[in-house]
Amino acid sequence: ERTVQRIAAGEVVERPASVVKELIENSLDAGASRVAVSVEAGGTEGIRVRDDGVGIPADQLEAAVAEHATSKISAIEDLDRGVVTLGFRGEALYTVGAVSRLTVRSRPPGADAGAEITVEGGDVGDVRPAGCPEGTTVEVDDLFFNTPARKKFLKRTTTEFDHVNTVVTGYALANPDVAVSLEHDGRETFATEGNGDLRSAVLAVYGREVAESMVDVAWTPDAPDASGTPDGDTHADPPVRSVTGLVSHPETTRSTREYLATYVNDRYVTASALREATLDAYGGQLAPDRYPFAVLFVEVPAGDVDVNVHPRKLEVRFDEEPAVRAAVEDAVESALLDHGL
């Protein structure tokens, strides 16, 4: 049974960044206003995510690390948003605990004491009292210590850290109202303020130069023709509801690397349609060897986005891909035009 559990876990937990992603989602689900991530050796030696969310009462710690542990109706909410994460509902802590040394330490706000539980390679220990601040801290040490085959697939620590950084950055930009920080081997990589301002989050993550080259994107479809569609339905849902965010102005862009963070219905995703439409909007206006920076939030009707391309990947496809492309290109182009291009 242990072996089956380990194999299943190895399929889902690909690398440190996949663990970090699940732990951040749990912190955000817990209503945290601060999420502090710190990793050692790209996350291969240690991962810690601390939040100030609702916490886990001592008598629920064991359930939290058990199979099918979810205390959430997220699957239904996700269905509403048209974005379902596969393979991990109610299983993240359980799955991670099967392939690492996992400690969950928590104190719900107002509780006089905290408690912790440890899982080592699937062996669940006893719940013990623990001194800790309000909120939850999850520590994951020695990822894949008992799955050498999986461990062999890990890349150099700089590569693993790049993946971690991409994930944490993605959540930091999507949640400017949450103070998100990242630390690698004891050194701070970035820390957002959590003041709700996207520009300020961009400044924290990418630095002043990128932040100062940004212009606002705010696109909505033209109001529908009052005559409506032939069958008289004037409320046809447009294929794209809005495109918002920030893009870099070509004249001030000094970035020598492409930074594109795209979100569909508030979920961090990758989609070649979004990337290509963004690049098309610049239409060769960038200086040679300069790349755009963009953080774009696209809202589409829930049923129009397919996330089941691959359970572990962020790639999505759109039913109305040409309309999405056109909207994003138009949105970015108009933003640049508004600023004299």
Give the footprint of ligand ADP on this chain (CB under 6 A). Answer: 22, 26-27, 30, 51, 53-56, 64, 69-72, 89-94, 136
Nearest to ligand ADP of 72, 199 (CB atom) = 72
Distance CA 276, CA 97 (A): 39
Nearest to ligand ADP of 78, 299 (CB atom) = 78
Residue 92 sits in the site that holds Mg ion (CB under 5 A): yes
Q: What share of the chain is helix, strand, coil (3-state, %, to 5)?
A: 35, 25, 40
Residue 70, binding choice from Mg ion, ligand ADP, none, Cβ under 5 to 8 Å by partner class: ligand ADP
> Which position among 6, 12, 26, 294 is part of the footprint of Mg ion (CB under 5 A)?
26
Residue recorded with tokens 């009052």 = 226
Q: Which two tokens stand for residue 41?
A: 């050796």
H or E stretch including 192?
A: none
Closest CA to 318 of 299, 291, 341: 299
Work out how close the CB of 228 gets to ligand ADP at its nearest, in angstroms, rounded to a whole number.
42
Contacting range for Mg ion; rule: CB under 5 A; set: 33-41, 87-95, 111-119, 127-135 = 87-95
Residue 40, binding choice from ligand ADP, Mg ion, none, Cβ under 5 to 8 Å by partner class: none
Work out how close the CB of 136 gets to ligand ADP at its nearest, in angstroms, rounded to a whole number.
4
Nearest to Mg ion of 95, 165 (CB atom) = 95
Q: Which position's Cβ is nearest Mg ion?
A: 92
Q: Which two tokens stand for residue 154?
A: 């890990």
- Which sign, positive or negative, has the C-alpha torsion 139, 141, 143, 145? negative
Which backbone phi and psi does 160 adopt, to 5 degrees? -65, -40
Residue 52, binding choice from ligand ADP, Mg ion, none, Cβ under 5 to 8 Å by partner class: none
Residue 56, binding choice from ligand ADP, Mg ion, none, Cβ under 5 to 8 Å by partner class: ligand ADP
Nearest to ligand ADP of 53, 245 (CB atom) = 53
* Cβ proximity of 58 and 112 under 8 Å: no
Nearest to ligand ADP of 110, 230 (CB atom) = 110
Work out how close the CB of 111 gets to ligand ADP at its nearest, in angstroms, rounded to a whole number.
13
Report the Cα 99 to chain-centroid distance in Å: 22
* Cβ proximity of 220 and 242 under 8 Å: yes
Work out how close the CB of 180 gets to ligand ADP at its nearest, in angstroms, rounded to a whole number.
14
Beta-strand relationship, 34-40 and 179-184? parallel
Closest CA to 54 of 26, 73, 82: 26
Work out how close the CB of 317 gets to Mg ion at its nearest, in angstroms, rounded to a whole number.
24
Nearest to ligand ADP of 312, 339 (CB atom) = 312
Residue 202, binding choice from ligand ADP, Mg ion, none, Cβ under 5 to 8 Å by partner class: none
Residue 136, binding choice from ligand ADP, Mg ion, none, Cβ under 5 to 8 Å by partner class: ligand ADP
Work out how close the CB of 113 gets to Mg ion at its nearest, in angstroms, rounded to a whole number.
25
In degrees, rounded to 5, the angle at the alpha carbon of residue 215 between the alpha carbons of residues 213 and 218 is 160
Work out how close the CB of 56 gets to ligand ADP at its nearest, in angstroms, rounded to a whole number.
5
H or E stretch including 64?
A: helix 61-64
Size of residue set near Mg ion by CB under 5 A: 2
Residue recorded with tokens 């696209």 = 298
Residue 100 sits in the site that holds Mg ion (CB under 5 A): no
Distance CA 306, CA 309 (A): 7
Distance CA 28, CA 54 (A): 10
Work out how close the CB of 325 gets to ligand ADP at its nearest, in angstroms, rounded to a whole number.
33
**Binding positions for Mg ion, rule: CB under 5 A:** 26, 92
